[in-house]
Amino acid sequence: MEVTHKKITSLRMEHITKRFPGVLASDDITLTVEEGEVLALVGENGAGKTTLMNILMGLYQPDEGRILINGEEVHFKSPNDAFDAGLGMVHQQYMLVPNMTVLENIALGYKQAWSPIKLDLGMVRERINEISKKYGLFVDPDAYIWQLSVGEQQRVELVKTLCLGARFLILDEPTSALTPQETDELIVLLKRMSSELSIIFISHKLQEVKDLSDKIAILRHGAMVFEGTTKDHSPSDIAALMTGHEVDLPQNDAPSCNGTPVLDLKNLNVKSDRGFLALKDLNLTIRGGEIVGLAGVSGNGQRELAEAINGLRKVESGEILFFGENIANKTPYHIIEAGMGYIPEERNTEGIVPSFSMKENLILKDSGRDEFSKHSFLKNKAIEKNANDLRVKFDIRSPNIHVAAGSLSGGNIQKVILAREISRKPKFLIAVYPIRGLDLGAAEFIHKQLLEKRKEGIGILLVSEELDEILDLSDRVAVIFKGQIQKVLDRKDANRRSLGILMAGVKDDQTV
């Protein structure tokens, strides 16, 4: 059954203003999208992109301004109204119910399958199949959301929005968690779709913006600072307009180091949430003062590896030698005390306590240290000084240090975690997708910080799907595939092609 909405020939937001306590999130913004157009909305973390789109979807009410569709003013009191008008949004933070299946999550919005006494899941399944086939987006309808990797969840979100029949798509950083291949596929797909629908696309990756969009709008501090056609501007132009300066991602060009091994994984076996072995006899050694990039398509055991090392997942067998001590199956507390730093993938549930203030989140791992507490009372002055220093140093955009960390923009939450993990002087750092969702300026800064740490002699395990990030930073690159290390390459031998082939599971690149 096809869902039909009236065509959206033009959509216009006029003089939109939205204030949150202490922040002007949207400052008199006006923008227009015509039929079949792709508008890229870019800007630094906290610039107000998500807020503006939430207003368009009826999630937030603007303080001032109005929305016009096909020239007529509309009032969206809730997302339902926006759906009815044919709008659909893939949110930056996934809007999925973890303990329900993919099928149920989609059924939740698929009202055609609702009769009072029965939920017609068969109909939803058909709809999913139809959409999957049409767009080549495959999802397992019976998987529970909590079992899926972030990338898979992202795909579910997209399928969900398409199933609900959106004619106007809003995509808030849809590629931030996708593999490079998935990203390319998505861009091709969106291009194809743009012939029949209009799209607003938010991304920090300017190459995508360049490839996909017709028009580009740049936000800074809540205000629209630039509008233009994409083809007139190169990615570096856009980056400069966005950040106000030339962006230059740093490179690791130091000679490779010969430090002593600090993290030694021996025959590691770890199970996934679904109960099968996610890591199979995995071996990897990382020395002090080197960055080892772990390249691989997400879902090949990266998450399980990071969690096992940090004591968050049971190790079935094998050893994790950390400065000579076997920390397999030790408590996270013990592992943190031993000097492990961890930047987790799931930043909203693992990296911060959303309801705690930003300053509290910044000392979450150190609340018991003398630095921040005395006779089991917290030292507020020291905590605030720490927070203020980090806020400046890491350029965390927040009204102050007392706001709940969960109220920050996605990229700024990431900065809070990074600030804490890097500043607490770990002896080793596991960074899982550290620049996911960060704007270019912030990514540049974080990369510099990681290289700085490397120089101080700290070993770093960098998990990423971004080959550029891996190639820029790593001394050695380990490719993970189906829970095993395919191969470890020196930086000089690694390039996009060789890594791509290894990531796809081909053991020896000679055979291709």
Partner 1 sequence: MNFIVNILSLGIPFSVALLIASLGEMFNQRAGVFNLGCEGIMAMGAFLGMLVPYSIGQGGPTPGIYNVLGLALAMGVGALFGMLFGFVVVTFRAPQGIAGIGLQMFGVGTAGTLFRHFVGGTQSVPGIGNLPIPFLSKIPILGPIFFSHNILVYLAFLFVPTAWYILFKTPWGLRVRAVGTNPRAADSIGIQVNKVRYQALAVGGALAGLAGAYLSLCQAKMFSDEIIAGRGFIAVALVYFGHWHPVKIMGGALLFSLAQALQLAIQGQGINFPYEFAVMLPYVMVIVVLAFSRESQLLGPTALGQPFNREKRI
Residue ranges in contact with partner 1 by CB under 8 A = 57, 59-61, 78-80, 83, 89, 91, 94-100, 104-105, 107-109, 113-119, 144, 146, 160, 164, 354-355, 404, 406-408
Among 8, 11, 16, 23, binds ligand ATP (CB under 6 A): 23
The token pair at 166 is 């959106």
The answer to whether residue 92 forms part of the interface with Mg ion (CB under 5 A) is yes
Closest to Mg ion by CB, 279 or 413? 413
User: If phi over 0 gives left and psi between -120 and 50 gives alpha, with beta otherwise, what is residue 86?
Assistant: left
Minimum distance from residue 325 beta carbon to ligand ATP (Å): 38
Closer residue to ligand ATP, CB minimum distance, 51 or 300: 51
CB 44 → Mg ion: shortest distance, Å? 10
Distance in Å, CB of 178 to Mg ion, minimum: 16
Q: Restricting to residues 394-423, which ones interact with ligand ATP according to CB under 6 A?
A: 397-398, 407-412
Distance, in Å, from the CA atom of 54 to the CA atom of 192, rounded to the nearest integer, reads 25
Stretch that binds Mg ion, among 34-42, 56-64, 92-100, 306-314 (CB under 5 A): 92-100
Whose Cβ is closer to ligand ATP: residue 45's or residue 300's?
A: 45
* Residue 406 touches which member of ligand ATP, partner 1, Mg ion, none, C-beta under 5-8 Å by kind: partner 1
> According to the 3-state scheme, what is the secondary structure of 172-226?
ECCCCCCCHHHHHHHHHHHHHHCCCCEEEEECCCHHHHHHHCCEEEEEECCEEEE
The entry of Mg ion, partner 1, ligand ATP, none near residue 412 (CB within 5 to 8 angstroms by kind) is: ligand ATP
Cα distance between the two ends of the chain: 45
Q: Please tell me the distance from the alpha carbon of residue 118 to that of residue 498, in angstroms, as a whole number.
A: 52
Q: Which is nearer to ligand ATP, 60 or 83 (CB)?
A: 60
Max Cα-Cα span within the chain: 69
What's the rounded Cα separation, in Å, for the pair 501 and 149?
22
Nearer Cβ to ligand ATP, position 204 or 424? Answer: 204
Indicate whether 154 belongs to the interface with Mg ion (CB under 5 A).
no
**Minimal CB distance residue for ligand ATP:** 411
Instruction: Please work out the total of residues on this chain that contact ligand ATP, with binding judged by CB under 6 A.
Output: 20
Q: Judge contact between 412 and 397, C-beta under 8 A.
A: yes
Residues in 81-100 at the binding interface with ligand ATP, rule: CB under 6 A: 92
- Judged by beta carbon distances under 5 to 8 A according to partner kind, the member of partner 1, Mg ion, ligand ATP, none in contact with residue 118 is partner 1
Residues in region 46-75 near Mg ion by CB under 5 A: 50
- For Mg ion, the closer of residues 204 and 287 by Cβ is 204
CA 25 to chain CA centroid, Å, is 21
Q: Could you tell me the smallest distance in angstroms from the CB atom of residue 405 to ligand ATP?
A: 10
Name the residue type at position 455: K
User: Are 417 and 370 within 8 A, CB to CB?
Assistant: no
The percent helix, strand, coil of the chain (3-state, each to 5) is 35, 30, 35
358 vs 450 by CB, closer to partner 1: 358
Q: Which of 298, 308, 351, 302 is nearest to 150 (CA)?
A: 298
Give the contact letters, 35-74, x = binds to ligand ATP (CB under 6 A), - = no.
Answer: --------x-xxxxxxx-----------------------
Is 357 near ligand ATP (CB under 6 A)? Answer: no
Residue 110 near residue 127, CB atoms below 8 Å: yes
Measured from the CB of residue 409, what is the shortest distance to Mg ion in angstroms?
Answer: 5
Asked if 74 contacts 68 with a C-beta cutoff of 8 angstroms, the reply is: yes
How far is it, in rounded angstroms, from Cα 78 to Cα 58? 5
| Residue 276 exposed, middle or buried by CB count within 10 Å (0-12, 13-18, 19+) | exposed
Residue span 399-428 as binding mask against Mg ion, x where in contact by CB under 5 A, dash where not: -----------x------------------
**Torsions phi, psi of 8, nearest 5?**
-105, 105
**Footprint on this chain of ligand ATP (rule: CB under 6 A):** 20, 23, 25, 43, 45-51, 92, 397-398, 407-412
**Footprint on this chain of Mg ion (rule: CB under 5 A):** 50, 92, 410
